[in-house]
């Protein structure tokens, strides 16, 4: 046992009193999966500061696998994000009150990075286990995409793999957002566990469509 | 303890291998709530036969409260149904292969019955408890509405109260319906328990809007 | 030519500067369809006052056919409403500032009235003509349902037929509601024309499902 | 007058008998806008062949501005696409029966290209003109994204600007897809005209959010 998994969640934002990404990540802190130990860390929901904290953890932990998790209020499934794009375009202010519009995350950086997680194998494994999941073609343009891009930029060229998973509201959040789907913390945690195990054990991804026509 | 609650769920339909309404109802079978005992019964997903089975149970049990529960694949919340309408219009065949179109459930019966459950108080109690819930203005025109209408017709003029609650897919069902919302069996069961307790203890409903502009 | 069609639309509400139901209805004022002449009238978006105005027009015009039209912001199609229910439950105040909750429209009236329009034949004719349309199981609980119920109550027992059609936003409205569907005034007007013609010429409705499972 | 605009639409796919992108583009063929002439061309809905045809037109016409347009059945608005990603992942086969999964469009190409259209200024101009429009963060992973990526790859480093606009179904298409939003050909054509004019006259984009939180 010396492989390390870094699993991050966010602090609450947008008026919520909790963030399901951190509630789920903290549950897995210290757990052993497929010969690796999970280290859960909370990130601030702030442009810049979130990435600074992430880079500090990457340097300190030197993980084999680094997965960031974020809340996607309104989505019904675990979303295996395919691609991070090099832009911040905030529809609402972050927790520090900043609202960048059309600013690159890394000046001169590539336009995008693809996840290096086996997102098709993860989606298939989750569905087989009865956990709603889908590949997503966009992680948005807020702090989640910011962290996803920054993570992939930090890992680029190295051996560690990484990616981003969006999760639904918890039921207690959705109760205040009529019409919004939700997922229980038990289901989310089981899903993240399985997604991490699949990432740790899959050597290559599977060829199964996760695309959209538009 | 001599008050009786009849709680019905349906057998699977539409290609599913289970029906969350029966999974949830059976969990509550025998439970005591606010001085009443819950009797859970499964109904066939068939026009006519479902109502015959329901009437048999009503006669046998003489419940104080009768609540029918049904699966609403695609909805994200517990739906407290407001009104049952006197029409069968089946988009898909029922489990006996019948697909009635625009036929009255009770010839000469009223066009509709309103639920006699305190649906606003139930919605408020569920949301306060962190369980996603909403009033719904239509229970559709399939076997669910058929049973809801038949239930209210049977109870009409008597002292017992009744109504219908639609529930989402379970996660293991939604895993096979990409994009569909779901709710865990624990959350559904807790929600039904609270909805029944509220119905058993509320003397009148509360004045809180549950309407829609269209 | 002595058959008369009453076609009503509403004044704007909910912060909009126009109401597509009146824009479409006024276009058809004076038009002859299948041997009948259309009389378009605008109704206030107010509980009570809308019905008073409607009854005055019914008395004055003695129409063979009376169709009320209303805006359903968020819907994508022409909605042929199946049923009006005897309840006002206002999510937002009407144009007079009133917001009734769970109050019957007609005290002691039936729980519901079904449309007496051939809604299946209309839906089929519209789709054949390339105009998006669907049967709807709920007209909501606001002023639209209020007028629909009051119209059917006024026509009950008489020879005249009537019903309600909900229509989408116009594009210029949807431009201010990101994500909302819309329909051009030309398409809406062509659709209402065809729906009225179908109602004037169809002697019975067709047997084609327009139902929902929930 | 010697500036040239290349405007492409697609042939029908997915069982449709027309493609609104070509219906709209052909209407603008030969039109003069802001001192430029529009050349409309139809592309096959085939991976590879679509890009070959596009490159041929780019070489032949040497346009100042090149905008590809595609059908996005299910969307309600004109979608100004922000980013093209270097991947083909076909949920359905293309018109030649090919269905690539997770294959790069340009081997060794950048992970993504951003549109060089002023998508925020276009969105704002369209909404001001009463035409529903929004920035989109994903053009999918089918032939539309394929052409968008290939277009931006071809234009990279040169002076010409380019991008991609997704459009809704026409009403006659949506009539066969219950629930689907649509937009009239008049509105789509007016929207594309305004979007092209804005691209031809705007020197820089405006700073207005078009982002999403996820």
Domain region containing D131: 3-201
Of B131, B172, B175, the CB nearest to A175: B131
pLDDT at A1: 58
Report chain A residues whose CB lies below 8 A from the CB of B136.
none
The whole-angstrom separation of Cα A100 and Cα A92 is: 9
- pLDDT-above-70 percentage for chain D: 100
Is A171 close to B132, i.e. CB distance below 8 A?
A: yes
**B171 band by pLDDT with thresholds 50, 70 and 90:** very high
pLDDT at B204: 87
Report chain A residues whose CB lies below 8 A from the CB of B133.
175
pLDDT at B166: 98
Q: Residue C33 pairs with which residues in a beta bridge?
A: C36
**Positions in chain C short of pLDDT 50:** none
User: Is residue B71 included in any domain, yes or no?
Assistant: yes
Q: What is the mean pLDDT of chain B?
A: 97
pLDDT at C203: 80
Report chain A residues whose CB lies below 8 A from the CB of B182.
76, 132, 181, 183
**D79 band by pLDDT with thresholds 50, 70 and 90:** very high
Decide: B and D in contact? Rule: 3+ Cβ pairs under 8 Å.
Answer: no
pLDDT at B109 over 70: yes
Query: Nearest 10 degrees: CA dihedral of D169, D170, D175, D177?
Result: -10
**Positions in chain A short of pLDDT 50:** none
A70 touching D (Cβ < 8 Å): yes
Query: Nearest 10 degrees: CA dihedral of A25, A26, A30, A35?
Result: -10
A63 touching D (Cβ < 8 Å): no
Sheet containing strand B78-81, strands side by side: B32-33, B36-43, B3-10, B65-71, B161-167, B78-81, B133-136
End-to-end CA distance of chain A: give it in Å, rounded: 43
CA angle A159, A157, A138 (to 5 degrees): 95
Is D181 close to C184, i.e. CB distance below 8 A?
A: no
Residue C155 falls in which region: left (phi positive, over 0), alpha (psi -120 to 50) or beta: alpha
Closest chain B residue to C81, measured at CA? B214
**Number of domains, chain B:** 1
CB pairs under 8 A between A and D: 128
What backbone phi and psi angles, to 5 degrees, belong to A93?
A: -70, 150
B131 touching A (Cβ < 8 Å): yes
User: Is residue D209 included in any domain, yes or no?
Assistant: no
Report chain B residues whose CB lies below 8 A from the CB of A187.
171, 184
Which residues of D are annotated as catalytic?
A: 81, 144, 166
CATH number at residue A163: 3.40.630.20
Chains touching A (at least 3 CB pairs under 8 A) are: B, D
- Measured between alpha carbons, how far is residue C113 from residues A111, A159, B115, B150, C147 in Å? 59, 68, 17, 18, 12
User: What burial class does residue C135 get, using C-beta atoms within 10 Å of its C-beta: 0-12 exposed, 13-18 middle, 19+ buried?
Assistant: buried
- Whether the model clears a pTM of 0.80, i.e. scores above it, the answer is yes
User: Is residue B175 included in any domain, yes or no?
Assistant: yes
Two structure tokens written together for A15: 């008026």
Whether residue C59 contacts residue C160, with contact meaning beta carbons closer than 8 Å, is answered with no
Residue C111 falls in which region: left (phi positive, over 0), alpha (psi -120 to 50) or beta: alpha
User: Is residue B139 included in any domain, yes or no?
Assistant: yes
Please name the residue that has the structure tokens 């740790």.
A200
Mean pLDDT of D187-204: 96
- Measured between alpha carbons, how far is residue C18 from residues C22, C179, D129 in Å? 8, 19, 16
B49 touching A (Cβ < 8 Å): no
Report chain B residues whose CB lies below 8 A from the CB of A183.
171, 182, 184
User: Is residue A138 included in any domain, yes or no?
Assistant: yes
Is B76 close to A77, i.e. CB distance below 8 A?
A: no
**D177 band by pLDDT with thresholds 50, 70 and 90:** very high
Instruction: Express each pLDDT in D13-35 by its tens digit.
Output: 999 999 999 999 999 999 999 99
- Measured between alpha carbons, how far is residue D84 from residues D47, D137, D172 in Å? 15, 9, 29
User: Is residue C214 included in any domain, yes or no?
Assistant: no
User: What burial class does residue C186 get, using C-beta atoms within 10 Å of its C-beta: 0-12 exposed, 13-18 middle, 19+ buried?
Assistant: middle
**B203 band by pLDDT with thresholds 50, 70 and 90:** confident
* Secondary structure string (H, E, C) spanning A43-74: ECCCCCHHHHHHHHHHHHHCCCEEEEEEECEC
For chain C, state the CA radius of gyration: 16
Residue C61 falls in which region: left (phi positive, over 0), alpha (psi -120 to 50) or beta: alpha
pLDDT at D203: 80
CA dihedral for D177, D180, D186, D192, sign (positive or negative): negative
pLDDT at D204 over 90: no
Is D175 close to C132, i.e. CB distance below 8 A?
A: yes
CA dihedral for A86, A87, A93, A97, sign (positive or negative): positive
Instruction: Express each pLDDT in B131-148 by its tens digit.
Output: 999 999 999 999 999 999
Sequence-ordered strand ranges (E) for chain B: 3-10, 32-33, 36-43, 65-71, 78-81, 83-85, 88-89, 101-103, 112-114, 133-136, 161-167
Residue D144: CB partners within 8 Å, gap ≥ 6? Answer: A213, A214, D10, D68, D70, D72, D164, D166
Is C76 close to D179, i.e. CB distance below 8 A?
A: yes
How many Cα atoms are found within 13 Å in the side-chain-facing hemisphere of A56?
9
What backbone phi and psi angles, to 5 degrees, belong to A126?
A: -65, -45
The whole-angstrom separation of Cα A183 and Cα A73 is: 11
Tell me C95's DSSP state.
Answer: T
Q: What is the mean pLDDT of chain D?
A: 97
Two structure tokens written together for B206: 């509360």
**B2 band by pLDDT with thresholds 50, 70 and 90:** confident
The whole-angstrom separation of Cα D111 and Cα A38 is: 30
Whether residue D186 contacts residue D170, with contact meaning beta carbons closer than 8 Å, is answered with no
Whether residue B66 contacts residue B155, with contact meaning beta carbons closer than 8 Å, is answered with yes
User: Is residue D189 included in any domain, yes or no?
Assistant: yes
pLDDT at D197: 98
For chain D, state the CA radius of gyration: 16
User: Is residue A208 included in any domain, yes or no?
Assistant: no
pLDDT at D2: 79
The whole-angstrom separation of Cα B37 and Cα B47 is: 28
Helix, strand or coil for residue C161? strand
pLDDT at C191: 98
Is A207 close to D101, i.e. CB distance below 8 A?
A: yes
Instruction: Express each pLDDT in A25-74 by its tens digit.
Output: 999 999 999 999 999 999 999 999 999 999 999 999 999 999 999 999 99
**D51 band by pLDDT with thresholds 50, 70 and 90:** very high
Q: Closest Cα of chain D to C78: distance in Å?
A: 10
Two structure tokens written together for A78: 């675990």
The whole-angstrom separation of Cα B69 and Cα B144 is: 8
Tell me A29's DSSP state.
Answer: T
pLDDT at A90: 97
D157 touching A (Cβ < 8 Å): no
Crossing angle of the two packed helices B119-128 and B185-201, in degrees rounded to 10? 130
The whole-angstrom separation of Cα A94 and Cα A98 is: 5
């Amino acid at each position: 046992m010396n492989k390390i998994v870094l699993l991050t969640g966010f602090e609450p934002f947008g008026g919520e009193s909790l963030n399901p990404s951190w509630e789920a990540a903290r549950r897995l802190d210290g757990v052993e999966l497929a010969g690796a130990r999970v280290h859960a860390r909370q990130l601030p929901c702030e442009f810049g500061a979130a990435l600074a904290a992430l880079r500090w953890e990457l340097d300190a932990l030197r993980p084999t696998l680094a997965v960031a998790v974020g809340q996607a209020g309104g989505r019904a499934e675990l979303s295996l994000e395919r691609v991070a794009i090099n832009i911040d375009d905030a529809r609402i202010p972050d927790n520090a009150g900043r609202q960048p519009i059309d600013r690159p995350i890394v000046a001169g950086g590539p336009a995008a990075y693809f996840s290096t997680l086996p997102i098709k194998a993860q989606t298939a494994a989750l569905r087989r286990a009865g956990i709603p999941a889908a590949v997503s073609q966009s992680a948005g343009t807020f702090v989640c995409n910011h962290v996803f891009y920054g993570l992939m930029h930090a890992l680029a060229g190295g051996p560690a793999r990484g990616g981003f998973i969006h999760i639904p509201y918890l039921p207690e959040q959705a109760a205040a957002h009529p019409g919004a789907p939700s997922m229980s913390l038990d289901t989310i945690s089981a899903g993240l566990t399985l997604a991490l195990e699949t990432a740790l054990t899959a050597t290559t991804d599977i060829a199964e469509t996760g695309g959209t026509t538009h």
